[in-house]
Amino acid sequence: MSGVPGADRPAADRPGEGRPGPDRPSLDRPGAADRGPSDRGPSDREPVDCTVIVVTYNSATDLPGLLDSLPRAVSGLRVRVLVVDNDSADDIGSIVDGRSDVTLIRAGANLGYAGGINAGRRLLGPTRTVAILNPDLRLAPDSLARLVSAACRPGAGAAVPRFTDEAGTTFPSLRREPSVTRVLGDALLGAHWSGRPGWLSEMVWDPRCYERPGPVDWATGAVLVLDAEADAAVGDWYEEFFLYSEETDYCRRLRTAGWTVQYVPDARVFHEGGGSGTGPALTALNEVNRVRYYDRYHGRLAGGAFRVAVTVGQLARIQRPGNRMALRALWSSRGRDELPGRPPAVPAGASALGQEALGQEALQQEAAQQQAQQQQAQQQARREFAR
């Protein structure tokens, strides 16, 4: 044994094989009846280098660009693509129809981003890696292949890319583990003083950090490529967050299990975002889930201090409707009731926000019934942090 996660297991033997069960979502291969086996992509039993999971919600406009960019991004790797649709109102089936290498999974409800990922994970099949992708992306040539290579290195459990805009400008996507001082630093300083000490910013602002590869705490969740062994070890994504903070939580559990998250600057991705719009409720949900996440791991007293720090940031931006709504939700259970995917009421105990993030099955079932848009989540986070 090497002592390094994944170092002593050949890639071909890594887990990722889905198991049938009564809770599996509906699986749809549009047009499959009209095609012979030789015309299809890898079946769910064939080993592949990467299984791609794309969670969609009213994403029919965005999805074709991502699917069209995949062939050049994988550089000859054998790939299986699962599109998990969270009960969209648009005709996502017509987008997938005719693409023999894509399987559509109809969730039957809006499960949220984490819930959609988990629905895809149950149908992975044998695979070396798992790639979680937003639908509003375009992948640069060789980008996914480079991320797969990085995620499979000894000790690595995940890999994240460089995000750019249409002009090629790097978007600050890397993050540090949340803390009270980091939240206060970002609240008061924003993008100013990009070279400030790490303990004063959760966001990694320094442009120099985006030019060198290496381990990071976490990154925006629009793209995350996972070693299949690490994925199996960490398990399901926590669905009680519904939107926001699920990637923060997942990467923390990944690191706690002994794996690293690797930043790969030569894997470039263009993230358009905004395909489903934005809104004050999503701004508020983002801030509330930051506190829920911190409560989960640090307890009531530290969580209370963190909530105060988050509140300072909302007060500094009080002129914006989303931040006003966030203030109300941070300090009022009624305000939290208005948020997308809100958990049901739970008995009094340690912390109201902490209780709502305990992960009971009831929370997951309630979240599955709510209407939300995970594509809004990534774009809203991008806009708020960039200001």
Closest CA relative to residue 95, chosen from 59, 70, 123, 71: 59
Per-residue CA distances from 322 to 137, 201, 281, 288 (Å)? 25, 22, 6, 12
Average pLDDT, the chain: 80
Q: Residue 278: what pLDDT?
A: 67
The pLDDT tens digits for 178-201 are: 999 999 999 999 888 888 999 999
**DSSP string of 150-175?**
HHTSTTEEEEEEEEE-TT-PEE--EE
Q: Which two tokens stand for residue 377?
A: 């989540």
**What's the pTM?**
0.78
The CATH superfamily label for domain 11-176+208-271 reads Spore Coat Polysaccharide Biosynthesis Protein SpsA; Chain A (3.90.550.10)
Q: Residue 191: what pLDDT?
A: 83
Q: Specify which residues 175 forms β-bridges with.
A: 203, 218
Per-residue CA distances from 138 to 46, 51, 70 (Å)? 26, 17, 8
Largest CA distance in the chain: 61
Q: Residue 274: what pLDDT?
A: 52
Per-residue CA distances from 352 to 190, 295, 296, 345 (Å)? 28, 9, 11, 9
Q: Residue 5: what pLDDT?
A: 52
H helix count then E strand count, the chain: 13, 13
- The domain locations on the chain are 11-176+208-271, 280-386
Closest CA relative to residue 55, chosen from 94, 100, 122, 110: 110
Most confident listed range (23-27, 28-32, 173-177, 342-346): 173-177
Q: Residue 336: what pLDDT?
A: 87
